[in-house]
Amino acid sequence: MTLPEFKEIYYMEWAHRLWGRVIGLSFVIPTVYFIARRRVSAPIARNLVLISSLIGTQGVVGWWMVKSGLKDDLFAKGSHPRVSQYRLATHLCLAFSVFTAMLWNALQIFRERHLVLDSQPNRASALLARLSSPALRGFRIGSAVVAGLIFTTAMSGAFVAGLDAGLIYNEFPYMGLGLTPPKAELFDGFYARKEDRTDLWWRNMFENPSLVQLDHRILATTTFVAVHALWAYARFTPRVRAALPQGAWRASHAVLALVWMQVVLGISTLLYLVPTPVAATHQAGSLALLTGAVVLGSRVWTPPRLARLVAQRMAGVRVRQAKAGRGPAGQAPDRSIVSPVKMAMHAKPSVGAVGLKPARGEHIF
């Protein structure tokens, strides 16, 4: 390595570490302030502390990852510095987890504030009642499955990067003479460390570049098919199509477009022998795709806390109406306006994410 090459990689690493510290401080300091001043609710305070802990853990894992590349044979002739693919994947997993936790909490806070402070609380209760429709249960589960597949595929990409597995079989959809390499190559005894070879399967899955690349292809293809299946389920199932909020429809279209972009970037990265700009864009594309899936989930998920808050506000409105003597012919106000919220409160929580069809000109987060 020449001195200019060393400077380039040094400043890249230095900027990465400095940026990580800036992220940590810009989150932890406001967290301490908001909790100390009691400006956030107990659930949000708990989530903020959890995210702060993850950020701190991420710094430790980053050091742990870099340390794996500082070995005694680093300066031997022909040696190539390489960090552990396991530690690299752990570092990326924590980064994606921190980002997803921040995004999910932000979406919930914005949405909760919008619905609770709505000038027409009966409209908010009607929206929550619509989200509690049984027709959306399957879609919520499907959106959670898609998000999990995207996350898992991105983590498998860390193993591809850590092993330079993208530098072999630079063709698609074939890998050599077939869709997969020979079985003897995929499960090579070279990677087994135990005499009885009980670790043959899992070590090849995480340490054999050929199998690691094949695993990533399989996961990526599964994710691609799952996104299309979820979109088609909503598009061609009348009950789901009628119940799905407009915001969720827009998010599903965005996820569909993002998964196509990600596939094109992935194939391009492979065919062109992993050029750094394309590979970095491919990694950023995985985060963009995960973001789209999280937003989609947030628009079909109804937190029980939100239902309780809207129900409390509706009850307060009803009490004020009763005290003011409102209601037709001197009768008490109609109590039925609270029933949709009660339905949402007593509905069994489901796995997924969120949204309602807003009125014209209205934005529901």
Residues of the chain with confidence (pLDDT) below 70 = 72-75, 78, 118-124, 126-127, 307, 310-311, 314, 317, 325-365
Q: Classify residue 73 by its DSSP letter.
A: G
pLDDT at residue number 140 = 94
pLDDT at residue number 226 = 98
CA–CA separation, 120 and 277 (whole Å): 49
Phi, psi of 305 (to 5 degrees): -60, -40
Cβ proximity of 353 and 143 under 8 Å: yes
pTM (global) more than 0.85: no
149-190 per-position pLDDT tens digit: 999 999 999 999 999 999 999 999 999 999 999 999 999 999
306-322 per-position pLDDT tens digit: 767 766 776 776 777 77
CA–CA separation, 123 and 82 (whole Å): 57
Q: Could you tell me which of 147, 115, 137 has the C-alpha nearest to residue 308?
A: 115
pLDDT at residue number 77 = 72
CA–CA separation, 99 and 53 (whole Å): 13
pLDDT at residue number 357 = 39
pLDDT at residue number 118 = 64
- CB neighbours of residue 295 within 10 Å: 24
Written as six digits, the tokens of 130 are: 């619509």
pLDDT at residue number 41 = 87
Sign of CA dihedral 208, 222, 296, 43: negative
Cβ proximity of 300 and 143 under 8 Å: yes
Cβ proximity of 284 and 258 under 8 Å: no
Cβ proximity of 44 and 105 under 8 Å: yes
pLDDT at residue number 147 = 97
pLDDT at residue number 97 = 97
CA–CA separation, 51 and 108 (whole Å): 15
Written as six digits, the tokens of 235 are: 């598009």
CA–CA separation, 359 and 85 (whole Å): 49
Q: Does residue 275 have a cis peptide bond before it, meaning omega lies within 30 degrees of 0? A: no
* SS3 state at 6: helix
